[in-house]
Every structure is written in structure tokens, then in C-alpha cells.
């Protein structure tokens, strides 16, 4: 983005140089107007390009499909995780991904086992996807009636 802005600034200076230079050489003020219009069109073009490129940063962008698959595979690999009820990822920066998921566990699992499972899953995700810097896992009790209905 910085290179694009710098390139646009240099191009704008060239447009201004030609507009003013041709106005002085030809004694015709329309060249100055043409240079000004060219600079305006350049600024609008740069604004559109920057808006398109930064849209995902403003609205939030999920992790790449490959990373999501790796994360889901690491969660499912744990024997104490019965299912992934929801999984969301969000880029916080170029090398930072937030992972939020809800997993189902057995109703008979102890709090210690659920905690150990969550810690093991977090470590496994971090090994597979080092950019997953913030991981939030919420356990829920597996309910067969809910699982079979949807």
C-alpha cells in the first residue's frame, strides 16, 4: 500500500509538471485543467484500489480454508472431543489468527478432564497453525437428541 501511495504521488507530480509546463509553453490554461483532472482521476483510482484491498481488514477476514481444515482436524483428533459444534476464525493481523470454537464433551467427563482436553487441543492447534495466537474453546455437553436433530 505504501508503494502504491508513493507511486501515485510521483505520478501526480508528473501530471502536475506536464499540466503546468504545457500551460506555460502554449499559453493555454486548459493544459493546467487537464493536469488537475488527471490528478483527480488518479486519486479516485488509488482510493478505490485501497478500499478494495483493505475491505477485508475492516470487516474481518477468516483464516484460509487450509488453516481452518488443519484447526478442525486437530480438534477432532482429540479422543475426548465428540464433535465441533461451531468454529470461527478471524485474522487480527497478518500473522495473528483468533480461533473460537465450541466443542461437545461427554456429560460424565470431569472438569479436570475437560480442562486437560481444552489445553491439549490448544497446544495441538498452535503446533499446526503457529499464527493461531488467540484460542478460545468452549465446552458443551453432548446431547444425543440435539445431535440427531441437526
Do 137 and 110 belong to one domain?
yes
Predicted pLDDT at 146: 53
Q: In CATH, what number is assigned to the domain containing residue 110? A: 3.30.70.1350
Predicted pLDDT at 145: 47
Do 78 and 139 belong to one domain?
yes
Do 108 and 45 belong to one domain?
no
Domain count, the chain: 2
Instruction: Print burial letters for 106-138: b (CB count within 10 Å at least 16), e (below 16).
Output: eeebeeeebeebbebbbebbeeebebbeebebe
- Structure pTM? 0.63
CA atoms of 53 and 4, how far apart (whole Å): 11
* Residue span of the structural domain in which 20 resides: 2-59
Do 55 and 111 belong to one domain?
no
**How many C-beta atoms surround the C-beta of residue 139 within 10 A?**
19
Query: Cα–chain-centroid distance for residue 136?
Result: 18
CA atoms of 98 and 72, how far apart (whole Å): 14
pLDDT tens for the chain, 150 residues long, are 788 888 999 999 999 999 999 999 999 999 999 999 999 999 999 999 888 878 766 777 888 899 999 999 999 999 999 999 999 999 888 789 999 999 999 999 999 999 999 999 999 999 999 999 999 999 998 776 455 555
Predicted pLDDT at 93: 80
Q: Where among 15, 42, 59 does a domain terminate?
A: 59
Amino acid at each position: 500500500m505504501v508503494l502504491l501511495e508513493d507511486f501515485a504521488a510521483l505520478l501526480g507530480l508528473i501530471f502536475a509538471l506536464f499540466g503546468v509546463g504545457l500551460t506555460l509553453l502554449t499559453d493555454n490554461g486548459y493544459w493546467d485543467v487537464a493536469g488537475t483532472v488527471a490528478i483527480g482521476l488518479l486519486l479516485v483510482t488509488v482510493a478505490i484500489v485501497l478500499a478494495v484491498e483493505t475491505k477485508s481488514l475492516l470487516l474481518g477476514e477468516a483464516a484460509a480454508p487450509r488453516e481452518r481444515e488443519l484447526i478442525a482436524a486437530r480438534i477432532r483428533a482429540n479422543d475426548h472431543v465428540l464433535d465441533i459444534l461451531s468454529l470461527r476464525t478471524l485474522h487480527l493481523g497478518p500473522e495473528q489468527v483468533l480461533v473460537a470454537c465450541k466443542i461437545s464433551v461427554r456429560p460424565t467427563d470431569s472438569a479436570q478432564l475437560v480442562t486437560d482436553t481444552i489445553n491439549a487441543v490448544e497446544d495441538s492447534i498452535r503446533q499446526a497453525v503457529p499464527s493461531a495466537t488467540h484460542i478460545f474453546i468452549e465446552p458443551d455437553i453432548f446431547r444425543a437428541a440435539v445431535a440427531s436433530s441437526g
